[in-house]
Amino acid sequence: MLDIPKQHKEIFETIGNIAETAGQQVFVVGGYVRDYYLQRLNPDDITDIDFVTVGSGIALAKKIADELNTSKLTIFKKFGTAQIKYKDLDLEFVGARKESYRRDSRKPIVEDGTLEDDQLRRDLTINALSWCLNPDQFGVLYDPFNGTQDLKNKIVRTPIDPEQTFDDDPLRMMRAVRFATQLQFDIDRDTFAAISKMAHRLSIISKERILDELNKIVLSPKPSIGFAHLLNTGLLKEFFPEMVNLIGVDERNGQRHKDNFWHTLKVLDNTAEKSDDLWLRWAAIMHDIAKPPTKKFVKGIGWTFHGHDALGAKWVPRIFKRLGLPLDERMRYVQKLVRLHLRPIALVSEEVSDSAVRRLIYEAGEDIDDLMTLCRADITSKNEWRRKKYRNNFDRVEKKIVEVEEKDRMRNWKNPIGGDEIMQELGVKPGPIVGKVKDRIKNAILDGDIPNNYDAAYDYLQQIKSEYVNSVEN
């Protein structure tokens, strides 16, 4: 007897009874069954369940929707699938099928098939598990490729020859890496070798589908596992060459720099331990992305990467666009953190001015806490004394940030004097002078010359207005 949530068992029994009446076999397949055997089936996390029937998935779904008394039925006739929204679940039905592919296309030639045909087209053995739901076989496991054994052995493997599996659909290579990362499983040797051999086939896959798998890797508990696989199989260079370029260590006069690829992965893992935020994790990936072109050996100093923060921020939009990542406020957030990630460490000195802290708070705004999380994640030294020293330094920086913020309220700062008021006081029309005056007021506040309030800003405007009135008249 299946030890599954009561609400799911009731739905499964209903589906099985309807299929039996219709003369069809029906099976629950994929992630639901896999997660059951992994003992990580959390009903609160389950939003969709997949079913395969020998026969028409659409016809069966219509009967089930009627029985469940729901009108939330969506039919995808082109794909032979149907989806029922029932309570908090998406129930997706498809008829068992077999597929064949042309080498230059990801679109399969689809024919009706048996359950065995359907399991043969699955990407991995651990995703080819299914339970029959018909009353006489309710809960019987169909596991033709020993997927449950692979779950026990923590192995990611294809059901059939991996080269054929990946040739049919190259995205399955990304999926193999993704599942190995999420589950922290090893990739079977033959499967790994096939990915390495066929990585170039990823070129026929859309960037949107690649990105979907990549983001799932980024969001996994330990993303470095996936990026190491992507690098070692050759997949990473197919879509993210800038990251591959971080690999390598140069030595000159006995001085070496750290390998920036593996350093980046450590920063990413450190960030993942503190935050589930996808975009903060992308900031970790991108923070040193421009180190290769800025690398320089300076005699008496060693290896330097001056300007990699600014150049990296400049690269963010181009890389985001190519990968299919959003070019909106999320991109600008990543860009900001990349640009600012070296700034907090510059504030370590005991005698650092409040002005410098105010400027950092002003530039980071509401993202100051995320910036500090990234900076702390950037501590990857293997020397415990150094790690402790860097952590103590950041403790001091954060203390200064709190003190200055309490006093000056610089987060999400807005100029106390608006453009309309400046034009009225100066008697000018819209133009560059207005911007220059606003900058003067802003800098006076950031430098601590005047308090951060309207009255002080207005008095300051009166002091400097003659400079601009005269320049307009001249």
Give Dmax (Cα) for the chain.
Answer: 96
Q: Helix axis angle, 308-323 relative to 207-218, nearest 10°?
A: 130
* Residue 452 DSSP code: S
pLDDT of 376 above 80 = yes
Measured CA to CA, the distance from residue 102 to residue 33 in angstroms comes to 31
Q: What is the pLDDT of residues 13-63, one digit of tens each?
A: 999 999 999 999 999 998 999 999 999 888 888 889 999 998 888 999 999
Task: Tell me what pLDDT residue 100 has.
Answer: 53
Looking at every residue in the chain, the average pLDDT score rounds to 88
Average pLDDT over residues 347-370: 83
Beta strand pairing status for 155-156 and 186-187?
Answer: parallel
Task: Tell me what pLDDT residue 433 has.
Answer: 84
Measured CA to CA, the distance from residue 376 to residue 274 in angstroms comes to 10
Exposure of 107 by Cβ count < 10 A (0-12 exposed, 13-18 middle, 19+ buried)? exposed
Measured CA to CA, the distance from residue 140 to residue 186 in angstroms comes to 28
Q: Can you tell me whether residue 302 is helix, strand or coil?
A: strand
Exposure of 214 by Cβ count < 10 A (0-12 exposed, 13-18 middle, 19+ buried)? buried
Q: Can you tell me whether residue 90 is helix, strand or coil?
A: strand
pLDDT higher for 268 or 349?
A: 268
Q: Kindly report which listed range (241-245, 254-258, 312-316, 375-379) carries the lowest average pLDDT score.
A: 254-258
Q: Can you tell me whether residue 49 is helix, strand or coil?
A: strand
Q: Kindly report which listed range (131-135, 162-166, 279-283, 456-460) carries the lowest average pLDDT score.
A: 456-460
Which residue(s) pair with 186 in the sheet?
155
Q: What percent of the chain has pLDDT over 90?
A: 55
Q: What percent of the chain has pLDDT over 70?
A: 92
174: CB partners within 8 A, 6+ apart: 202, 205, 210, 213, 214, 235
Binned at pLDDT 50, 70 and 90, residue 229 comes out as very high
Average pLDDT over residues 410-432: 80
Q: What is the pLDDT of residues 78-111, one digit of tens each?
A: 778 899 999 889 999 998 876 555 555 555 555 5
Question: In Å, what is the CA distance from 177 to each residue of 31, 150, 155, 261, 326?
Answer: 16, 15, 11, 18, 23
pLDDT of 311 above 80 = yes
pLDDT higher for 332 or 258?
A: 332
Q: Can you tell me whether residue 130 is helix, strand or coil?
A: strand
Containing 153, the helix (H) or strand (E) segment is helix 147-153
Measured CA to CA, the distance from residue 8 to residue 89 in angstroms comes to 10
Binned at pLDDT 50, 70 and 90, residue 298 comes out as confident
Binned at pLDDT 50, 70 and 90, residue 418 comes out as confident
Task: Tell me what pLDDT residue 404 has.
Answer: 76
pLDDT of 294 above 90 = yes
Q: Helix axis angle, 384-408 relative to 368-377, nearest 10°?
A: 170
Task: Tell me what pLDDT residue 313 has.
Answer: 97
Task: Tell me what pLDDT residue 474 has.
Answer: 45
Task: Tell me what pLDDT residue 108 has.
Answer: 56
Average pLDDT over residues 69-75: 88
Binned at pLDDT 50, 70 and 90, residue 226 comes out as very high
209: CB partners within 8 A, 6+ apart: 171
Q: Kindly report which listed range (104-108, 124-128, 155-159, 178-182) carries the lowest average pLDDT score.
A: 104-108
Average pLDDT over residues 289-299: 89
Binned at pLDDT 50, 70 and 90, residue 412 comes out as low
Which of 245, 324, 239, 227 has the alpha carbon at shortest distance from 288?
245
Domains of the chain: 6-152 (3.30.460.10), 154-239 (1.10.110.30), 419-473 (no CATH)
pLDDT of 300 above 90 = no
Q: Kindly report which listed range (26-40, 291-305, 408-422) carries the lowest average pLDDT score.
A: 408-422
Task: Tell me what pLDDT residue 185 has.
Answer: 97
Which of 196, 29, 53 has the alpha carbon at shortest distance from 112?
53
Task: Tell me what pLDDT residue 423 has.
Answer: 85
Measured CA to CA, the distance from residue 1 to residue 265 in angstroms comes to 44
Average pLDDT over residues 194-210: 96
Binned at pLDDT 50, 70 and 90, residue 148 comes out as very high
Question: In Å, what is the CA distance from 423 to each residue of 330, 445, 451, 465?
Answer: 34, 20, 22, 10
Identity at 393, one-letter amino acid code: N
Binned at pLDDT 50, 70 and 90, residue 471 comes out as low
Q: What is the DSSP string of 415-451?
A: -SS-HHHHHHHHT--SSHHHHHHHHHHHHHHHTTSS-
Is the alpha carbon torsion for 213, 216, 218, 224 positive or negative? negative
